[in-house]
Every structure is written in C-alpha cells, then in structure tokens.
Amino acid sequence: MTSIACLNRREFLARSAAAGAAVVATTWPPAGETKIRKDLVIDSHAHLSFRSSPADEGDEAKVLDAADRLGIDQLCCSVLPKRPATVEGFQTANRVMAAAHKRHPDRFLGYCFVNPGCGRAAIEEIRRCLDLPGFIGVKLYNEHLCTDPIVFPVVELTIELRVPVLHHAGHSHYPVKEQPNMSDGGHLAELAKRYPEAILICAHIGGGGDWEWTIKALRHARSVYLDTSGSVTDEAMIDMAVKVLGAERLLFGCDMSWTAGVGKIRAARLTAEERRKILGGNMQRILAQRGRRPCS
C-alpha cells in the first residue's frame, strides 16, 4: 500500500473523494447527513470569501465541494474584510456570513467577525449576529493582542452568551512585519487566566511559527482549545498535542488547507475515541454550552 507521505496533493484528494466515509472507519462519515450524530465531522476553522453583496454566493459552492469530497459535515466559517477592519467592513462581512448560512443552513455555521478596537460598535455587532440563526461564536484576528484591555469587553460578552472566541495566533521567532499585534499561545494562556470562564480557541497549530512552543505554552491553560488547521504538516504535530494537552482540547480544522487538514488527522496515531473527539465531538460539546451559565 502506498504510504501517505508518497501521495502528491492531486492523488490524495482523488483517493479521499473516492474513499469518503471509509477514510477512517466509522469516525470519518459521509457528507450530506444533517442530523447530529456521534461521529459528526465539524471543521472548526473555515472561511468564506468576502464580497460586497450578501446575494453574491462567492466561493460557497467550491467550499462545499471540497467538504463533500473529504467527508466534512459542517463548517464553522468567518468572512474576513480588509484589515484593520472598519465597522462597515465587518458588518458587511457578517451579512455575507448570515446569507451563506441561510442558503446552506445544515452546512455553514458562522463566527461573527469584529475589530475590538471599534468599541461599542463591535459589541453591538456581536449581539446582533448572535441573535441570528447560524452564528455560533466570535472570530478575532490581529488588530490587537488578545491581552490588550480593548479586547476584554468582547471576551466578557462571549462569556455572557456562552460562545467561543476563535483567535488568530502564531508564535514566530522573528518579527512579522505584517502582523505586529499577532497573539500567540502564551497570550491566550494569559487571557484564560484572567477569564477562566471564557471558551477560547487558539487558531491553527500548523499555521506557521513554533508549534511545539505553542503546545507547551497552553499546557496549563485548560480552558483553551487548539485547532489543528494550517498548511504546516510536520510529523507528530497532532500526536504531541494529544500527549501534552489531551484529545479533549483539540478541534479539527482546515483553515482552507483541505488536504493538509485531513492528512494530519489521518497520519496521527490516535485511538478511535480520540479521533472522534477531535473530528467533531469536542466542537459539539462547545456548541452545546450556548446559553448555559458559566461555572463559578
């Protein structure tokens, strides 16, 4: 049998499309089934393209085609405007997300994207979006470090609403000129210490930078989840994350690197139960917390 390492991208996608649910026994189910199942596969970190009109379907068909080929049932998406985002920019992005969910309510779930620096307007936008069908959390990028006090009102609101914050993150050993305010696992651990009730997701372990440092930085921040997305596919990345953090703190995600996202999970040495948790069980548990009061 040809090893995963020997497959090129085209071969991998073709085999995944042909295999469908058989990729990982019963823990990688066929797409198209909309009821909540034990083995539901949820991409916790996905995106849809920005466009000026919610009536424009953009790349929705392409995203769903990729998800169908790889057996992904639901995608938790955000739409990102030009950054640093203006109020008009993130309002337009969220209207696009709302329209996408309306067209495909069983497939797309939405993160409300805001720029915390916009203050009251950001808070009002989160409340507006989370009152709409399909929105399940908040997406923050790199306009501000997550430890900047300007972000705290957003986090406090998500605690009130019991929804997750998916925060862009990465740990580089050199300054990233384009992202001077990029948070890392250490910042998210610090935020979790301040707000232990918050549901925080550190984005893309494989998104670039020192993923081993990120895993270690989050070791004791037990309320922080880590998504598996990103184009980096270093060997044993997922295995180390499971060993250090536990499978219950990992969320399957692709961040649009579809074959890399699936390949990392296929290659990891996981038990069936660990795989089930990562592929969708943990995200379902997060979504089930909506509306519940946090533990004191």
Interatomic CA distance for residues 120 and 122, integer angstroms: 5
Interatomic CA distance for residues 267 and 257, integer angstroms: 16
Domain membership flag for residue 9: no
Structure tokens given for 39? 């083995």
Interatomic CA distance for residues 196 and 47, integer angstroms: 27
Domain membership flag for residue 15: no
What is the predicted pLDDT for the residue at 294? 58
* Number of domains, the chain: 1
CATH of the domain at 268: 3.20.20.140
Domain membership flag for residue 157: yes
**Contact of 155 with 195, CB cutoff 8 Å:** yes
Domain membership flag for residue 47: yes
What is the predicted pLDDT for the residue at 243? 98
Amino acid making up residue 217 = A
Q: How many helices (H) and strands (E) does the chain have?
A: 11, 8
Interatomic CA distance for residues 260 and 264, integer angstroms: 6
Q: What is the mean pLDDT of each run of 10 residues along the chain (296 residues)?
A: 40 43 33 53 98 97 97 98 97 98 98 98 98 98 97 98 96 77 95 98 92 96 96 93 98 96 95 97 95 58
**Contact of 254 with 240, CB cutoff 8 Å:** no
Domain membership flag for residue 5: no
Interatomic CA distance for residues 272 and 243, integer angstroms: 15
Three-state SS for 137? strand
Domain membership flag for residue 202: yes
What share of residues in the chain are helix, strand, coil (percent, to 5)? 45, 15, 40
Interatomic CA distance for residues 123 and 114, integer angstroms: 8
The phi-psi region of residue 212 (left if phi > 0; otherwise alpha if psi is between -120 and 50; otherwise beta) is alpha
Neighbours of 288 (CB within 10 A): 11
What is the predicted pLDDT for the residue at 180? 79
Domain extent for 227: 25-287
Phi, psi (rounded to 5 degrees) for 262: -75, -40
pTM, two decimal places: 0.86
Structure tokens given for 202? 């550190």
DSSP string for residues in 78-90: EE--SSSPPHHHH
Domain membership flag for residue 228: yes
Domain membership flag for residue 2: no
**Contact of 240 with 2, CB cutoff 8 Å:** no
The phi-psi region of residue 196 (left if phi > 0; otherwise alpha if psi is between -120 and 50; otherwise beta) is alpha
Interatomic CA distance for residues 36 and 114, integer angstroms: 29
Q: What is the DSSP letter of 45?
A: E
Structure tokens given for 11? 């071969």
DSSP string for residues in 47-90: EE---S-TT--TTHHHHHHHHHHHT--EEEEEE--SSSPPHHHH
Interatomic CA distance for residues 11 and 90, integer angstroms: 38
What is the predicted pLDDT for the residue at 37? 56
